């Protein structure tokens, strides 16, 4: 992982558009977004439902491509990469945390966290050590043998956070990660993410319409109708 200096940017978007053809109707989810997100910070993308937050996050996380514009992630112009290079880049650099946790139901908490390390072909000893270290860091070590359906929502999200960070990504993208949690559990999850962001020097980009999340933002971007309408730097 690169050491993030103050001027480094994790993501740089220029004139990004994304439209969907729905029969005869064209939905413009993003209508020209230009933004730069600093590396090593906790940034929040806010805005009402339907404003384009998920579309934006998926483009930053390289699981969707824009209709127009340019996308730079960790200094790489990602739209110029071929499919293999793009998959490899994504596997090394970015992780997602989802609203619905998206854990693999047949795998234990341990196996869910280990999975990205298996994919990355990490040697077995290092992999076991890293997996336990991550489970401990999120306070779930005692539940390592439990499957997702034997865990509470907050515990599942802790496992998802451990999984996201196990491969030491540069960027963690979280799409409404507290939306399915009560507010107390949601606060605990945000605190955990802040701690993980500091410990791992990763860039966290969080999208949410949960006001509770906004106060934690070092940078807050506000979306409306597919446009970035405001940017506030709070630290």
Ligand X SMILES: Nc1ncnc2c1ncn2[C@@H]1O[C@H](COP(=O)(O)OP(=O)(O)O)[C@@H](O)[C@H]1O
Residue ranges in contact with ligand X by CB under 6 A: 20, 22, 27, 29, 47, 49-55
Site for Mg ion in 5-24 (CB under 5 A): none
CB of 29 to ligand X, least distance (A): 3
User: In which residue are the tokens 């077995």 written?
Assistant: 124
CB of 213 to ligand X, least distance (A): 14
CA dihedral 19, 101, 220, 138 (to 10 degrees): -150
Give 147's strand partners.
Answer: none
- Binding-site partner at residue 191 among ligand X, Mg ion, none, CB < 5 to 8 Å by type: none
CB of 176 to ligand X, least distance (A): 8
CA–CA separation, 167 vs 180, rounded Å?
A: 25
- Binding-site partner at residue 22 among Mg ion, ligand X, none, CB < 5 to 8 Å by type: ligand X
- Residue 3 belongs to what H/E stretch? none
CB of 44 to ligand X, least distance (A): 13
User: Which residue is at the shortest CB distance from Mg ion?
Assistant: 54
One-character DSSP codes across 39-97: TTSEEEEE--TTSSHHHHHHHHTTSS--SEEEEEETTEEGGGS-HHHHHHHHHHHEEEE
DSSP 135: H
- Binding-site partner at residue 229 among Mg ion, ligand X, none, CB < 5 to 8 Å by type: none
List the alpha helices (DSSP H) in the chain. Answer: 53-60, 83-93, 109-119, 124-137, 153-166, 183-200, 211-214
CB of 223 to ligand X, least distance (A): 6
Nearer of residues 72 and 225 to ligand X, judged by Cβ: 225
Nearer of residues 80 and 231 to ligand X, judged by Cβ: 231
Nearer of residues 54 and 112 to Mg ion, judged by Cβ: 54
Site for Mg ion in 38-97 (CB under 5 A): 53-54
CB of 47 to ligand X, least distance (A): 6
Interior angle at CA 173, CA 160 and CA 129, nearest 5:
40
- Binding-site partner at residue 29 among ligand X, Mg ion, none, CB < 5 to 8 Å by type: ligand X
Nearer of residues 51 and 166 to Mg ion, judged by Cβ: 51
Closest C-alpha to 52, from 225, 174, 232, 209 = 225
Contact footprint for Mg ion (CB under 5 A)? 53-54
């Amino acid at each position: 992982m690169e050491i993030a200096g103050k001027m480094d940017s994790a993501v740089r978007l220029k004139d990004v558009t994304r439209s969907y053809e729905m029969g005869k109707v064209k939905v413009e989810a993003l209508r020209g977004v230009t933004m730069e997100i600093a590396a090593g910070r906790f940034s929040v993308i806010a805005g009402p439902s339907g404003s384009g937050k998920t579309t934006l996050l998926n483009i930053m996380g390289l699981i969707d491509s824009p209709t127009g514009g340019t996308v730079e992630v960790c200094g790489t112009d990602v739209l110029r990469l071929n499919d293999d290079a793009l998959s490899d880049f994504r596997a090394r650099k970015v992780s997602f945390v989802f609203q619905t946790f998206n854990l693999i139901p047949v795998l234990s908490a341990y196996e869910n966290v280990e999975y990205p390390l298996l994919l990355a072909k990490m040697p077995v000893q290092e992999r076991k050590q890293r997996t336990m270290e991550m489970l401990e860091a999120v306070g779930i070590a005692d539940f390592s043998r439990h499957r997702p359906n034997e865990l509470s929502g907050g515990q599942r999200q802790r496992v998802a956070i451990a999984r996201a960070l196990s491969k030491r990504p540069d960027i963690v993208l979280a799409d409404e990660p507290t939306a399915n949690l009560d507010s107390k559990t949601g606060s605990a999850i945000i605190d955990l993410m802040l701690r993980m962001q500091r410990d791992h020097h990763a860039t966290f980009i969080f999208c949410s319409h949960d006001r509770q999340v906004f106060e934690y933002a070092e940078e807050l971007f506000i979306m409306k109708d597919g446009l970035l309408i405001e940017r506030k730097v709070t630290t």
